[in-house]
Structure 1
Amino acid sequence: MADRRQQQHHHHPGIDDVMTVLTKASRDLAVVQRHLDQEFHRSYPDHVNPCKLVSRIKKIQEEVVSLKDLCRELLAEKQDLIDKARASLVGQRSSLQRLLASSGLPLMSESDEMAYTNLNQVLDEWTVQLRAKTGEEKDTGEDINEMLFSAIVQNN
């Protein structure tokens, strides 16, 4: 049984040499890392350590991708809500006009009509401005929020 243990722990001389080289290399790298850390601490304050800054930049770059995806989802939900609210308002306005006409009551006031016209005008102007920023001139049916998001991200 003792012979068996000696055989299990006995390595080929080539493996012993490789293990020795790897162990020495590991120690040397640890010494280099310790010297670099000491040099960074002497040269830079803790919050300006170049290694830490590179690490933070990489983390921020990863988070930006995630945030872009979340913003797109949020904008899609916002656009859906705007579209539904606008459709509901148009439908309610139409129903109200029919009810007023059939009941003989006075139709909507000029200020109500002006407010509705102004709302549509503001939305149309907003779309034109966004298309100017994104470089799109024709009506592609692309949602306004997506154009805005693209324009902001491209400009930064």
Structure 2
Amino acid sequence: MERMEIGFGGMDGGVQSALKSLDSHFAMADARLQWVHQKLANEFEGTYPGNGNPLKLLARTERLQDELPLLREECDKILAAKQNLIDLARTTLVKNRTLLRQLQGRAGLPVTSDADDSIYSSFVKTIEEWDQQVKANAAVTDIDQSELPDLNLELFRANRGPTW
């Protein structure tokens, strides 16, 4: 009987050649899969140029849906701050204007009427337009006019469309 020569790692020549063959089959399969992947990527890019690839669009849509609630919260905070600023400006400017008119009267200076004060008229007009816009948007969205705690927030909600 002839003794078989044991090769590297205790394996005989037949097992080593089988492993090499298997390794080359895996390498060929990997190369073919890479080729198919590249061909599909090129085909998608040709069919859907730019960001039109459905897989990329799906991933982007999912990312945006994850970010949407955070953006809504931030917008609500910004709109609440904006409404507070508008309310504060309205209160402060009207009080200051009243005090200025009283001081002008006491000093014997002519008191300007609302119609003659272009800056004050512009301010009042801007506030009235804002209120009308908010009320019009609230009416479209069936919001009770007497229950408008935050006009900016209601306008924002009316303009942003459906919630998901």
The TM-score normalised by the length of structure 1 is 0.64
Does the CA-based 8 Å contact 2:137-2:155 persist in structure 1? yes
Quote the Cα distance in structure 1 between the aligned partners of 2:144 and 2:107: 45
Out of 53, 57, 61, the position equivalent to 1:57 is 61
Out of 144, 148, 155, the position equivalent to 2:155 is 148
Q: Which residue of 2 aligns with 1:14?
A: none
Quote the Cα distance in structure 1 between the aligned partners of 2:142 and 2:75: 21
Unaligned runs of 5+ in 1: 1-26
- Which has the higher relative contact order, 1 or 2, with Cα contacts under 8 A spaced 6 or more apart? 1
Paired letter, 1:40? L
The structure that is helix-richer by fraction is 1
Paired letter, 1:141? L
Question: Deviations along 1:51-93, whole A, 9 cap, x unmatched?
Answer: 2221111011112222211111111111111111111101101
Q: Which residue of 1 aligns with 2:77?
A: 73
Paired letter, 2:88? K
Using the aligned pairs only, state the percent identity: 29
SS in 1 for 2:147: coil
SS in 1 for 2:161: helix
Quickly say closer, same or farther: Cα 1:84–1:155, change in 2 above 3 A.
same
Q: Which residue of 2 aligns with 1:136?
A: 143
Q: Does 1:82 align with 2:86?
A: yes
Q: Which residue of 1 aligns with 2:100?
A: 96
The TM-score normalised by the length of structure 2 is 0.61
Quickly say closer, same or farther: Cα 1:39–1:142, change in 2 above 3 A.
farther
Displacement over 3 Å in runs of 4+: 33-40, 46-49, 116-121
Q: Which residue of 1 aligns with 2:11?
A: none
- Rg (Cα) greater in structure: 2
